Amino acid sequence: MTRRLIRLGRWLWRIGIAGVLLWLRRGKEPLPERELPASPRAEKGVAALLVGAGLAGAAFALLYTFDEANTQLLGLAAAAALGLLAVALIVASHAIVPQETLSEERPRFADPEAERDAEVEDVALRAREGVDGITRRRLLGTAGGAAALGLGAAAAAPLASLGPRVGNRLRESPWRDGTPLVDENSHPVLAGDLTVGAYLTAFAAGSDKRDLASSLVVVRVRPEELELPPERGDWAPEGLLAFSKICTHAQCAISLFRYPLYPERSPGPALVCPCHYSTFDVLKGGKRIFGPAVRPLPQLPLKIEAGRLLAAGELSGAVGASWGGVEEGS
């Protein structure tokens, strides 16, 4: 009895659907019959997947509106929507649309006859080349290349107005004899605040802290450790040394100071650049001891006046990465 009712229900349902479809399609041409792989299950599945994708998309919108847009949930919702869509499309391509494998002629690009002719001509040309010296084609090609070079240079020239002339720009530095050292908050650097092994970033007073040549590393070692070159004998009062903070290899900030307690295990007080581990010997005036850097770290001679640190001259070399024309330095 119930089974019969269910069957009746199904039947009515189908008639209803058919009726609705007919009503919707009234006045239109009937669909041409298509050969499709008979897989109603796949069709239903795809439909369900698409609906699921729609729901997940709606969930994204809802989450965005009401749940303070939680990043994780939003991501999951979007992923679910797109993932369901992906499955639906792939299933559809495999089970719903016609499955066929066709064979199609490739278009030919070169006429074999012409190709052979060209080959013959080429050989003849080469033969003549030996006699005439230069072919028309090569002459024209070379001339064309020259023209392209000239025109290209003309077109590229206005690019130069992008930037200022180099001049001495890459060598500029705010450090002069008597320039005071200040810390990050623009307070004067006091010699008494730095103990042995200390490390401090300092700047030239009154300069822009973003200026590449302004920032310094100030460290203190025991004066008897120093092995500075003779001409730099008075550059490190009380064992205080100052170097440019910008690595001479690739201009990263030298933010590591190695002051080993056990010299046997890790040699000398040294400044290390974190980018490619270029290492500079503090005691020998910034000489490079390891890594890809070539030039030594520029050193700034220091003096102490009324407890404050001042520059006693200019930096010993150019700050930042090398360029063609920079002095290599000792």
Partner 1 sequence: MILVGTGIYLTLFFEPSTSQVVYHGSYAPLRGQEISKAYESALDLSFNVRAGLLIRQVHHWAALTFVAAILVHLMRIFFTGAFRKPRDLNYYIGLTMLMLAVLEGYAGYSLLDDLLSGMGLAIGNAVALSIPFVGGQVGTLIWGGRFPGTEAFVSRLFIAHVLLLPIAIGSLIAVHLAMVATPHHTQFRGRGRKETNVVGTPLWPAYALRSLGLFAAVAAVLFALGGLVQINPIWQWGPYEPYLGTNGAQPDWYLGWLIGALRLMPHFDITVGSYTVVPNPFWGGVVFPLLVFGFLFAWPSIERRWSGDRAQHNLLDRPRDNPRRTAVGAALFTWVATIFFAGSADRAFVQFGVPYQGQLWAYRAASFLLPILAYILTRRVCERLRESESHPGRGSDARAVVRNREGSFEELEPVGTEGVAGPDRG
**Scanning residues 133 to 172, which ones bind partner 1 (CB under 8 A)?**
159-160, 162-166, 169-170, 172
CA–CA separation, 92 and 261 (whole Å): 70
CA–CA separation, 214 and 1 (whole Å): 95
Single-letter code of the amino acid located at 141: G
64 interacts with partner 1 by CB under 8 A: yes
39 interacts with partner 1 by CB under 8 A: no
245 interacts with partner 1 by CB under 8 A: yes
Among 221, 295, 297, 309, binds partner 1 (CB under 8 A): 295
Residue 263, φ and ψ in degrees, nearest 5? -60, -25
Structure tokens at 259: 């002051």
CA–CA separation, 175 and 170 (whole Å): 14
Tokens 């002719």 belong to residue:
117
Tokens 């007080």 belong to residue:
269
Helix (H) or strand (E) holding 222: none
**In the complex, minimum distance from the CB of residue 89 to partner 1, in angstroms, rounded to a whole number:** 3
207 interacts with partner 1 by CB under 8 A: no
324 interacts with partner 1 by CB under 8 A: yes
Stretch that binds partner 1, among 192-200, 232-240, 242-250, 307-315 (CB under 8 A): 242-250
74 interacts with partner 1 by CB under 8 A: yes
Among 89, 196, 205, 304, binds partner 1 (CB under 8 A): 89
Show the binding pattern over residues 90-109: x = contacts partner 1 (CB under 8 A), - = does not.
Answer: x-xxx--xxxxxxxxxxxxx
186 interacts with partner 1 by CB under 8 A: no
CA–CA separation, 276 and 250 (whole Å): 8
